[in-house]
Every structure is written in C-alpha cells, then in structure tokens.
Structure 1
C-alpha cells in the first residue's frame, strides 16, 4: 500500500474486530503539562527505553508483536557488544492490552516510574497516551503509525517519516493526510495490469478504506470492480466467481486476515487466476503457508509492498545481521522494522553521547537528532525517511517501494531489483483518518 495508506489498512483490521466497542477513555489535556529533558545520568548508567505493544489485543497475539521482537533482538545484540559507548540499553516493555486505558497506563509507568529516555518501536491499537508522551518531550522513535498520532504530535517519529506540521492540533494538514499511488503505478508498469478489484465488508471502516483504494486505482487509470460482502455471513465464493468472470488482474481488499484467507480459498475453488493478490507490510510474514494453507494457488499470487527491505533478502549485509540476531524469534517485515527502529535510537544515542559524554543522551538531544532534517535508512533497511514540518502538503512526490512475491519453497522473493531504484513520481491524494 502507499506509505500513508498502509497505516489505515492496519487500523482497519482492528476496527473490523472492534466495531462498536470502546477502546478506553483518554486523560484530560491538563494531565499532560509536565515536561523535562529526561533522566540525568552520566557514563556507565544504563539507557532506559520503553517498548509499548498491544501484545494481547483483541485482534490477536501476533498482530502487533513483530516490532517489539525485532527491537529487543537488536538491543540484546547491542548489549552483547558493549552497548552505546559502554552504556547498556535497559529495555522496559509494556503490554497495553489493545485499549486506550491500558495505553495510558503503560505510558505513565514508563515515563514516571521507569524514567525512560525514549520509546522505541511502538505498535499499539489505540495510542491514547500519545499526548502525554509528546507533552513530556519523550522521543518515540520508529513506531508503527496505526492511527493518526504520528502525524499529529511533536516528538513522535514513525518508521515511515513525516512531512506534516505535527503541532498537536490536528492530524496532517487541517485533519487530512496524504498518500501516493505508487503501488498501483508499479503493477501497471511492471505487469500491464488494467483491471483491479477491491473487496470490502458492508461495514463502515471497511467500506471507507475500500473507497480510498478505489480512488487511488482510478487515479492511475484502472477499471475498478467493487465487491462487497456481508460482514456476518460473507459469500466469498460468489465474489470469486464474479472476479473470474470479469478477468480481474489485481485484487486489493479491505478485509481482516481471516477474510483474506477465505477470499483466497474461494478464488482457488472457482479456478480464478489473478496477477497479484496484494497485501501490506503487516502481513509480510513467514507464516503465509500456515495462514493460507487452503489456498495454494492464490497463496503463490500473494505480493507485498512496503518501505523496508525484504526480510528474506539475506544477500544484503544489514538483513543478514537482522536474521542472525533474530535466531529463535519469528521473522516478519514488522520485526525488521522494529530492528531498524532500535538501530535508529542507537545511532541517535551514540551521536548524543559523543557530543556530550558527561551527560550522555537526553530526551532533548535525541529529539534534536530526529529533527535534523537528514534522511535515515538504517544501514539500507529502510527507504530513506525524513522528518520535516511543511506548511502545505505536497501535490506530487517521488516515492520508492520494496516489492516481494510469495513462492512456496522459497518464501518472499524480492521483485524489481533494489527498492531505492524502484521509484515513481506520483500524485498525493488526501484522506481523512
């Protein structure tokens, strides 16, 4: 998915399972007035970081844990090699249970009790504590932008970068975010795709996301086939039969993971052949064979797009180090991005420590590093990302993407060469989060 759109799709899966249920209340803004530059400490004292994860959220135990696994693996390896200029990184994790109340409690505990200097690799369903993190001046480095917090508040730095003002008043530019059409342009250029289906539930969050994808596809000149199924009793076989009859090239969806698997199985059952069933970074995992066990043909038509290097690209030295460090942990694209987030914090902390060894890394110094306006790529793991504060949104943008295809027996196979050369100048379309 386009860079901003992927965050919407991740949130969509949660909304589908939680529609109608509250995720907890937020604290009043006046609770967030305290701010400091972080715990004092000189050389030798540990650097305390926090990782907040919705590990036991209602959307499943695997949905949000990848970034935490990658980040903790990185810090384990870093500490084994001496830490940050001799200082060990002390990791404090907190499971917020996927609720706003739980998230606020995690934030309070990590900031007020553990005195963390930063948060790293945040991956949560409801980032209710974001105003408190921002007001305390705690850098949140390399988080997954599920929801609009990373496009709203200062001191929050998502793994994908941001050009938005981030003043704390409203997401993006006057409540609107922008995403590109590079994924649709890619499949048109590389595979001659002209017809795309967008499958959704008859549920508000699903339908809204389907409209967003449809708009992007039409902007790239596709004929779009819109399919909707009943949320409670979806007839995926009827949808699959219609897609086969219409000769659809690509299939995008606004479904949860279970719905995706059932749609794939239905496509196999009716003998439908598509160029690509396109998914996103959260589903770019090594459990595809298990998740899609009833759909071998469709499974081998799965494509994933993202803004980070394929976690199976062991020929790249940074990916090889990630895979070595993840021994015994599940491999996924979100785990690789969590590893990159931990590296980002480490590079910032090393820069601060070397500039002022007597005080080492403070929140203010880490924040200044993140705001320096220089692209960051985590040794080639990320498409270079940057944080700016533009008053106006860009009308077009050159965007690069990583692409992989699932192959039984091989796993995720990188497509179209290096991600930093797989780039497109595309329009930026507005949407409301």
Structure 2
C-alpha cells in the first residue's frame, strides 16, 4: 500500500469514528501525513498502534456551567476539558472562552498541544479546555461568577500533578485569577494548579510576552539557517492581542519593519512602519479602550484601513499569522508567495488551512507550524510550574534566556527530522516527527495501557 493510500485509509477511519469534527480531522491529517511513513520505517510504533492511540484522547469531560447575570437571570453554558495525553507529564494546555468553542476545536487544540509540549523538552502532557461562554460585553462581576462556577466543576478533574490549565482566547489574567481563587477556596490548598497567574501569587515574568517572542525567535533561527537576519525584513502580522503585540515588539527590537496588524473587523497597513510609539497606541487601544484596530488610522492618517480583510495581500518578506485558526486560505497563501514572502511563522494555533500549507511547501518557503513556532507560551508556563514547585521566582532576564534556549532547541529538533539531502528543511515534517518520537517512546515503555 502506498503512503497516500495508507493516509487515506487512516483518515477515513478517523473521520468515521469522529464525525462532524473538521478541525480535529485537519489537525490529525497535518500530523499523520508525516508520521505514517516514519512509522513504516520504524515498525515498533506500528505494532503498538501508537498513532491510533494518540488520535483518541485519554478522556473528555463535559459539564454544565450555571451562573447568574447582572439582571438576575440564570444562564447555562457548556464546559469541557479534553485530557489528551499524559505520557510525558501532567496534562497541560489552555482554557478558551468563546462562543465558537466546540468539542472538535478543543480536540484539535489538545492533540496539537501534546506535540507542542513534547517539543519544548519539558515534562508536560497535552490537554485543552474551555466553554462557549463569551466574555465580551460582560461585566467583571458576571465574568467572576462564571469563572467561579466553571472552576467549581473543573476542580474535580485538575491538580498540580494531574492537569495544569492555562489561559487562551478569552481567558487572560483576570479570568485565571478568578478561577485560581475559586480553586484555592474549594480545595484549601495553594498549589501551582493554573499557570498565567499574577506575579503576586505565583505567576511568572514574561509569561504574557512569551508566545509572541517565541514566534519571532523561531523565525530568527530559520533565517540564520539560511545565513540571513531579521534586520531590515518587512513583516506582515495579523491580530492585535497579546501574541501579535509582543511579536511586533520583538520584531522591532531585532530591527525588522512591521507594516500590518488586524482584528476581527479588518486590518491596517502602515507603509511607514509600526513603531514602538505606534505599538503603545495599539496596546492602549486594545487593552484599555477595548477599541477597534480601525481607530489606528484616525491617529496615523498615512495608514490605510482594509475593512473586513486580512493583511495577506500586502507585500512582505515575512508573515506572522497571530490571530486565529484557518486565517490564511489557499488564495491568501498564493498572494503571499506571489508578493515575495520568504517565510511564515505561525503565532496562532493552526492559522493556515491545508491548502495554504500545501502552497507554502510547494513554493519551498520557510514555514514554521504553530506546534513549533508558538511553543514559547507553554514553555514559560512549564517554567512557571517549575518555579511554583520550587517556591522561587526567576528574573525576566533568566526566563528570557531559558525561553530563547528552548526555542533554539525546538528549531534544532525540527532541522534534525526535517532536513532533506538538498539542504531544504521541511519544518512541518520535522516538528511532527520530533514531537511524536518522545511521546511514542514513553508510550512504548508503559506497555499497553
């Protein structure tokens, strides 16, 4: 049976067992296309059915979350925790609050998280959770009541040696604080059961910045592999949340020129470049005013607003998708390549569609998948777990050095498994295989469980 036939047979079985979960199907396909040939060359994994076992989460917990809004009306949401694999450590992954949260999305995120956490080299398994609760437009007290109700159920399933959640879309420092307070209240213990906490109660320096910084560090290493530097490169960034903001911050620090950012309404293109001062305006706009990115053009009239559009039609050297999944379509990818884009480093989780990835790989441009490029956030979350366990705190400088070393090590692993005879590095293949090997070897050691 050829590799393509084997992949098709494998995916048909997976889709049959998991109907109506397109995001999960997409994530598994992205990994299986490289893992199946690797398994054929290493029969020990095939005999133990490692990939089949890895596409079935250890467990999925679904629960009702009841809370009361400010008008006194009782509201009901659905909560989830997908505990995918704890082969190499406690389940670890974020909690997402958004009205588009489904079991399919959380399964894809937990599956990706397992490989991502493996790549960091830290002892962390993979998991993900969340709810279809949307915090936008809610008061602080409504969010507090929801978070407390959510944690009242979730606390049964997590713990510092079992499952350590973190933040994600819709879950920032405020939400983590409410949930941690409720966990401490119910369990009567102060442990590192959540990461992304405030510095006053066990949080870590540079946790907020880590994902954005890591995305840029990975691109820096990809360029160095080709004998190039970030300095002077024109960069298109999507998003305007934490990941995008700190990716832009690090790009500017390393001498790159950033010309775009975006939100769900549209994108801005500033041909003069987004400076440190302009970035500070965006941070205030998003974090304090809760405004729209279009307001940037009112403040800086040389910029233009691309209403309802993403930034991928703007010519650039490098692209950093930092908004959401599947934000780069096949058409967007074709535009990027035609306009001279030489590399893509994914800041969001699975922001490129299959068609987009195929386009990037056919053009043989540098493509860093999210499981490798955006692992900086969970890496520092793992370092927060270590600090909590040791009852100490590291400085910003030491943490940044550790983050830089981890991202460099991830890049090295991707090159090890993804470099072809002609010197080209397939970072998607390298990340998939490198992430798989560590988890698979642990599963083999445990026997059939």
TM normalised by structure 2 equals 0.41
Considering Cα pairs closer than 8 Å and 6+ residues apart, tell me whether 1 or 2 has the greater RCO: 1
Structure with the higher fraction of residues in helix conformation? 2
